[in-house]
Amino acid sequence: MQLDAASLARLGTMAVRARVLVQGALSGLHRASHRGSSVEFAEHKQYSPGDEIRHIDWKSYAKQGKYFVKQFDQESQLTVYLVLDASGSMNFAGGGASKLEYAATALASLAYLVSQQQDRIGLLIFGGSETVIPASGRVQLRDVMDALETANSSGGRGQNSASAALQRIAELNRRRRALVILASDLFDASGDAVPALQKLRAAGHDVSVLQTMAPDELTFPYDGMTLFESLETDHRLLANPAAIRAEYLRKMQAFLGNTKEQLQRAGLDYHLVETNKPVETTLRDLLIARNALMRGRSVGVRG
């Protein structure tokens, strides 16, 4: 089953949408929930006084007559930061759902998924300046859903940069590695969103970017004299779209290409998301990409 933007809107609250998407559309794609604690065996170490006796590998002692202690890489829960761009530009809804609604739905679904795995979820909304500190549990999930719901219903505003939110995540997770999933159009007037993402990746965090674009932004289908008004500023432009279409599309493709190239070069997981695409398709592509990445990394979303 695939749900388009209109169908999603009819599903009601963000929590309902997330559950429908994860339990229905994405069922079978992720592993079974409640799989156990998040511990992974790393290597053996010869026993020395002070080591935990419960970690002595008795089978190795039976074979070799020496004490070895099992060591594990990660013994804590995964922290997933969902970052939503709620700036004014995300209100644009040309050719599908608004970018904000689409991004909020996608992040809500991810939150639900993460919550099902008992991992910690945090939420940062820039533009709305809403922050939910990472935690696990049903209450936490409800808070995240509420925050997303609020952001979606109040609409995007302002032209806040993603860099501040990303900087805050880096500060909050100096010791713990986290998975950061950003949903934004990356229309950043200051141009520092991409460097901030690169910096976050350099700090060891795992970063996925869902660059959310409306179809009309990619095809520019307008005709006749049109007055374009900015969603973030008071800029207005009266223009004949036919006269500027080619140049606009060239600039847009260049922007998307540059962004993708810079992010992928820095090791980020990049996805261009069109709002006329079913959300579950977007999520499936994200999860497939995450699974591919997990093969070489110890930190990841266990879907």
- Which positions touch other proteins (CB under 8 A)? 88-92, 94, 99, 185, 187, 189, 214, 217, 222, 224-233, 235, 237-240, 243-244, 247-248, 250-252, 255
Distance of CA 32 to the CA centre of its chain: 21
**Rounded to whole angstroms, how far apart are CA atoms 124 and 94?**
25
The nearest distance, CB 3 to other proteins, in angstroms, is: 24
Residue 78: CB atoms within 10 Å: 23
C-beta closer to other proteins: residue 16 or 237: 237
- Tell me the closest approach of the beta carbon of residue 271 to other proteins, in angstroms: 19
Nearest-approach distance from CB 179 to other proteins, in angstroms? 27
Q: Where are the alpha helices (DSSP H) in 3-133?
A: 5-10, 14-19, 58-64, 99-116
Q: 44 with 70: CB under 8 angstroms?
A: yes
Pick between residue 91 and residue 131 the one whose CB is nearest to other proteins: 91
We find the least distance from the C-beta atom of residue 101 to other proteins, in angstroms, to be 14
Amino acid identity for residue 126 in this structure:
F
Task: Find the shortest distance in angstroms from Cβ 76 to other proteins.
Answer: 39
Task: Report residue 215: phi and psi, to 5°.
Answer: -60, -35
Residue among 99 and 120 whose Cβ is closer to other proteins: 99
Closer to other proteins by CB, 87 or 208: give it. Answer: 87
Q: Tally Cβ neighbours within 10 Å of residue 19.
A: 17
CA 40 to chain centre: 24
Task: Please say which residue, 90 or 178, places its beta carbon nearer to other proteins.
Answer: 90
